[in-house]
Amino acid sequence: MDRELALEFARVTEAAALNSARWMGKGDKIAADDAAVKAMRAMFDTINIEGTVVIGEGEMDEAPMLYIGEKVGLGKGPKVDIAVDPLEGTNLVAKGMNGSIAVLAVAEENCLLHAPDMYMEKIAVGPGAKGAISLELSVEENVINVAKALGKNVEDLTIVLLDRPRHEKQIKVIRQLGARIKLITDGDVSPAVATAFPDSGVDMVMGIGGAPEGVLAAAALRCMGGDMQGRLIPEDDVDIKRAQKLGIDDINKILTLDDLVRTDDVIFAATGITDGEMLKGVRFYKDRATTHTVVMRGQTGTVRFIEAQHYFAKKPKYVKMDG
């Protein structure tokens, strides 16, 4: 996939962000998500790819578009797997809170883990701590190892977790070690990606979140030279069968970055909807809106931040008629 495609995918996340941002703070997460999905789906059909959605809005009978298995693109060009979350952080947008993004990852065909919609235990770090993490180690060991790798005191680490009761034990251990914690209500893709940027203020992300979001974060970290591991957590036999249907036979396997994204030929793009550590949210003005997007290419390691201005169509002029 060439660099021109990278910029085309940036346009896809921009469209989703612009449309969903209209619903910011209005308390309707369904409408915000619907606006993002429709805009993203329409924009995909302007791109020269043979794309298959492998992570999307659900199964065919659950979602009208961007469902798993849906074909997108103009039907010519490279054959690719596509993972999308048109609006990561629906509650964040509905409540006008920080951290929501429109995000996608695109890779060579059959190179993204077809992650089922279930929980995944995750741990993610940037390039400076690559190789220092393992889900086979305790929370304490991982925190100490990451601090050593980054050349920091444990007390100076910032670790992000979702604010959930299931993380109470991890939070307790981290606080006993003296590390700093940032709890988030929703949306763990953005902070996982932020670990790759030293100025973001995020050193590590850990805890249990969504498996599809894990693959999206892994795509960015693959581009940036970071590191991540994941392990699926099925809640029942239905989850296990769903995973097997998608080709995952060993449900307990620790998935490395190479398992989650099996190629360097991967592109990641995300546009801020509301402000976050890494991206500014959409701003609306009298005749235009601005977006802030990051787009990455795994083959070259190139990371571009794009600040774009989008002008609204001019309103027709009406001539006042006498009489």
pLDDT above 50 (res 25):
yes
Mean pLDDT of the chain: 93
Pick the CATH number of 119-260 from 3.40.190.90, 3.40.50.300, 3.30.450.20, 3.40.50.720: 3.40.190.90
pLDDT tens-place string over residues 177-209: 999 999 999 999 999 999 999 999 999 999 999
What is this structure's pTM? Answer: 0.92
3-110+266-311 shares its CATH topology with 119-260: no
CATH top-level class of 3-110+266-311: alpha beta
Residue 251 has pLDDT above 50, yes or no: yes
Contact predicate 181/82, CB 8 Å: no
Residue range 251-277: mean pLDDT, rounded = 95
pLDDT value at position 323?
A: 44
pLDDT of residue 43: 97
Answer whether residue 316 shows pLDDT above 80.
no
CA distances from 83 to 107, 133, 159, 172, 256 (A): 9, 25, 26, 34, 18
Q: What is the pLDDT of residue 115?
A: 86
Tell me what pLDDT residue 32 has. 97
**pLDDT higher than 50, residue 273:** yes
Spatial separation of the C-alpha atoms in residues 298 and 11, rounded to whole Å: 18
Q: Where are the domains of the chain?
A: 3-110+266-311, 119-260
Do 302 and 8 contact (CB within 8 A), yes or no? no
3-state DSSP of the chain: CCHHHHHHHHHHHHHHHHHHHCCCCCCCHHHHHHHHHHHHHHHHCCCCCEEEEEECCCCCCCCCCCCCCCEECCCCCCEEEEEEEEEECHHHHHHCCCCCEEEEEEEECCCECCCCCCEEEEEEECHHHCCCCCCCCCHHHHHHHHHHHHCCCHHHCEEEEECCHHHHHHHHHHHHHCCEEEEECCCCHHHHHHCCCHHHCCCEEEEEEEHHHHHHHHHHHHHHCCEEEEEEECCCHHHHHHHHHCCCCCCCCCECHHHHECCCCEEEEEEECCCCCCCCCCEECCCEEEEEEEEEECCCCCEEEEEEEEECCCCCCCCCCCC
Residue 88: predicted pLDDT: 96
233-238: long-range contacts, CB 8 A cutoff, minimum separation 24: 233/118, 233/119, 233/120, 233/121, 233/208, 234/118, 234/119, 235/118, 235/119
- Name the one residue in this structure whose structure tokens are 């974060």: 217
What is the per-residue pLDDT for 229?
Answer: 98
- Greatest CA span in the chain, whole angstroms? 83
Which comes out higher in pLDDT, residue 102 or 60?
102
- For range 205-226, the mean pLDDT: 96
